[in-house]
Amino acid sequence: MVIKEYGNPQGKILLLLHPMLADGKTMTTLIGNSLQKYRIISPDLSGHGEDKGDFISVKEEAKTLLAYLKEQNIFQIGLLFGASLGARVGLELFSEKSIEIEHIVFEGAPFFKNAPILKKVVASVFLKKQKRVRKYPERSVKKMQETYGIFGESMARSLAGMSKKSIKNVVAACCSFEFPPYDEKLQKKVLLAFGSKDADYKQRKKIEKRYPKMRFLVHDGYGHCEYLAKFPEKYFSELNLL
């Protein structure tokens, strides 16, 4: 993990965790013209962006990030925002009792408990995409920008350089969630955002059964992280949390 900070060192702390294949810098576009108002911690997760190591697990990512926060004497966070893989890392991090978090938003969070077939299929898809990205880099960047908006360029770059091990581990992380017992106080802080066409949204009933106090925000007609990618500044402003 390569941990970077942006904005105002004296501002309220925002912890932004990017989706699979993206990077930390791209996440700062959510803040738009308010960048200098906040202290933004937005790392490149392992195997992404400037980090050239292997992605091992969300537990390892959360452990590294937690150690950094403690080294920086950070025990209060204004907003924890995680998208897709970033949400999965956030779910490992946000129950840490030593850190007080004011607001928690997870976009496209994967709540699949055990999905071996899905894991195998998705890993195969990304490995095939990686071959195309390496063979046709410019075309792939353009295609990913059309599909994933602000994340397109960083996604193509990360996918091209990512190891096979990292791809398989990232996919595995998004297909295996154990539903730990989060208390009601913590649940009430969480806003789960999904596109109505997101496959992860199909887990809603299971989520509501396990975590009845978590709230939902649904972007009708959009797929996985699609609304976030196409309208980043609008997305953040509509949250109206800070």
- At 63 the pLDDT is 96
Q: What is the model's pTM?
A: 0.94
Burial 146-155 (b: 16+ CB within 10 A, else e): eebbbbbbbb
- At 128 the pLDDT is 93
Output the CA angle 150-81-213, nearest 5 degrees.
Answer: 135
Domains identified in the chain and CATH numbers: 5-111+180-239 (3.40.50.1820)
- At 194 the pLDDT is 98
- At 88 the pLDDT is 96
pLDDT single digits (tens) 110-120: 999 877 888 89
- At 114 the pLDDT is 77
For the purposes of burial, counting CB atoms within 10 Å of the CB of 128, is it exposed (0-12), middle (13-18) or buried (19 or more)?
exposed
Low-confidence ranges of the chain (pLDDT < 50): none
- At 149 the pLDDT is 87
- At 78 the pLDDT is 96
- At 97 the pLDDT is 81
Cα–Cα distance, 49 to 22 (Å, whole number): 7
- At 240 the pLDDT is 85
Cα–Cα distance, 186 to 38 (Å, whole number): 23
